[in-house]
Amino acid sequence: MGVETPARTRGSSAERREGKAPLRPARVVLQVFLAVTSLVWLFPLLYAVYTALRPYQDTAGNARGYFSLGGHYNFKNFTDAWTQADFPHYFVNTLIVTAPSLVLILILSSMVAFGLSRFNFKGNLLLLMIFTAGNLLPQQVLITPLYRLYIKVPLPGWMSDSGTLYDSYWGLILIHVAFQIGFCTFVLSNYMKTLPHELTEAALVDGASVWRQYYQIVLPLCRAPFAALATLEFTWIYNDFFWATVLVQSGDKKPITSALANLHGQYFTNNNLIAAASLLTAIPTLIVYFALQRQFIGGLTVGATKG
Amino acid sequence: MATSTQQPAAPTAGAPAPRRRRGSRRFSGRDKLVLGLMLGVPTVLHVALVWLPAVLSVVLSFGKWDGIGGVSSIKWVGADNYHQIATNYPPFWPAVHHNLYWLGVLLLIGTPLGLFFAILLDKELKGSRFYQSALYTPVVLSLALVGFIWTLIYSNDQGLINNAFGSHVDWLGNPKVNIWAVLVAATWKHVGYIMVLYLAGLKSVDTSIKEASSIDGATEVQTFRYVVFPALRPVNVVVLVVTVIESLRAFDIVYILNGGTNGLELLSVLITQNILGEASRLGFGSAIAVILLVISLTFIITYLVNTFRREAES
């Protein structure tokens, strides 16, 4: 008893960290509150799952109505959405755009960030500001000139069957890279500034070139922010709706998120099928998020708090 | 070799200079080229595809152009587009109001809610990992998908609300109601984003200062108000910028639902409509874009000056 009292007064934070706090009323209220809130938050998604599992005939019209239990439950809406709407094709489109964009964004932004954070030169800060601000601009502000530019820039036939940057995968990749290196440069340069200068100074004395300092010293230390940025950028590029809507004309070249909007009018006249299609589209981002959750939060700490 | 023999001369240049000078002397020509390319290639790409179009938008906003025919067919009309937008373009002011509603709701409801959840989850209760995932999940979905998912709830005769309550509100069709219905969905997504930003911020607040203040007898609320919140200042700035920018950029969800018409007008949608629509009024659309640009830049520049001033000082 005598031992326990000082421990108690030293504050609940010690208990918190151990996660073995005794059941106190306040704590129960908090748990219940958070559990209810979480369910409320997940509700639209869970309801979409529920709707997707039910056949159209059970819910529409006067059979049972959407707000009902019973009837049939199966995965037919998912398989229908998959086959009717040509889902594999659009997933491949997304992959063609997302994978190279991600790689290029990380390579290019790490190079700029390295230059900006490890060397002092005139205009250093201004350049960092240009990158950071560029990423914050609303996309619509760029679109008229960009659209005209894309129509004017010719590409050989094997690269784009439209013959221009417009309506090609290349154009989409290019704008994603150009736009997103702004954000990644900001995050990575903040991170690289935290790496001790002695690291590269020692290499410098040994006569390491700039490239070796970047490639062999700084880059291997950037795995954590890379993982976080890859998760974030994957979600953003995967979910992009605006660029794909404006810069790609042919329906069969659209990435999945923007293709779904087209399909909406074309095939899906029933809400059950819409629900299934939406959920199918969301799966890759959900998987990536849950797989990389830990790195992701850690990486955000780098980006958010050093800013 | 030549570089190292010159080095002893450097210190005479005075106190602030040596560091930079020493740095640049050590570069070989090849190093300079490599560094130039590492910085140059991404910069050219970023400036050419982001800043150049932004500047050209400003130029275009002073002209009339249907996009057919070359650049020479642009008729320069001065500030006429701006004058028309303000006086003779019915959707403009509703769009401004909707953008302001968007900002207001995210700022007054979404952001505080995100902070609130972050504070609760920072207590690291049992199951907080689950709660965190549940609240964050909507953020991973695109706004386009969020639009589809909420259609299931709002839809007039197939939607959950009207079916469950026997109501007949046209949630997405009624121009007086739909902006608020959409804002519920937008807030749903926004809260998780803000929550994670604050959670990351809270984790970086030194726990010893929290403990110190609780030993001094401060209540939990007092500790937060006087100790934790001030320490969160950098995150607060980021969150503020994110909130403002998100509400200015809002587009996908309204565009999916009804093309951003009939009560869901937003500045971003008006730009898109003028540029891609059949009218193809590129100058006019650009003028709206410039209005959006000026508003955004006001916030962006304030933010950058704020952020980088500290850095320049150190």
- Going from N- to C-terminal start, the domains of chain B cover 80-313
Pick the CATH number of B80-313 from 1.10.3720.10, 1.10.10.10, 3.20.20.150, 3.40.50.2300: 1.10.3720.10
Distance CA A277, CA A28 (A): 39
Residue of B49, B67, B289 lying closest to A175 (CB–CB): B49
CA angle A258, A262, A266 (to 5 degrees): 155
What pLDDT was estimated at residue A5?
Answer: 36
Compute chain A's Rg from CA coordinates.
25
What is B262-299 written as a DSSP string?
TT---HHHHHHHHHHSSS--HHHHHHHHHHHHHHHHHH
Question: Which pLDDT score is estimated for A298?
Answer: 62
DSSP state letter for B176: T
pTM above 0.80, yes or no: yes
Taking the C-alpha atoms of residue B255 and residue A100, their distance in angstroms, rounded to an integer, is: 28
Q: What is the pLDDT along chain A (307 residues), one digit of tens a residue?
A: 333 333 334 444 444 444 455 567 888 899 999 999 999 999 999 999 998 998 887 777 656 677 777 777 888 889 988 888 888 999 999 999 999 999 999 999 999 999 999 888 888 889 999 999 999 899 999 998 998 899 888 888 888 888 899 999 999 999 999 999 999 999 899 889 888 888 888 887 888 888 988 998 899 999 888 988 898 899 999 999 999 989 998 888 999 988 887 777 676 678 888 889 999 999 999 998 888 877 766 666 554 433 3
CB contact under 8 A, B211 and A129: no
Subunit contact A13:B207, Cβ cutoff 8 A: yes
Of B134, B127, B106, B116, nearest in space to B198 by CA: B116
Q: Is A164 helix (H, G, I), strand (E, B) or coil?
A: strand
- In B, which residues are within 8 Å of A136 by CB distance? 241, 245, 296, 300, 303
Helix (H, G, I), strand (E, B) or coil at A55: coil
CA distance A269 to A259: 16
Q: Looking only at Cα atoms, what is the longest distance across chain B?
A: 88
Chain B closest CA to A228's CA: distance in Å?
13
Q: How many helices (H) and strands (E) does chain B have?
A: 18, 2
Q: What is the pLDDT of residues B128-179, one digit of tens each?
A: 888 988 999 999 998 888 988 998 899 887 888 988 888 888 999 899 999 9
Residue from the list B30, B52, B204 with its beta carbon closest to the beta carbon of A209? B30
Nearest CA in chain B to A148: B67
Dihedral sign (CA A69, A72, A78, A81): negative
pLDDT digits (tens, 9 = 90+) for A81-110: 888 888 899 999 999 999 999 999 999 999
Residue B119 near residue B202, CB atoms below 8 Å: yes
What pLDDT was estimated at residue B17? 41
CA–CA distance, B255 with B268 (Å, rounded to integer): 10
CA A193 – CA A225 distance, rounded (Å): 13
CA distance A176 to chain B (A): 10
Query: Cα separation of A144 and A65, whole Å?
Result: 46
| Contact B202/A at CB under 8 A | no
Contacts of A34 in chain B (CB under 8 A): 120-121, 125, 127-128, 131
10-residue stretch averages of pLDDT, chain B, 314 residues long: 37 42 62 92 96 94 84 84 92 95 96 94 85 91 88 86 87 92 94 90 81 84 86 86 91 89 92 81 92 91 82 67
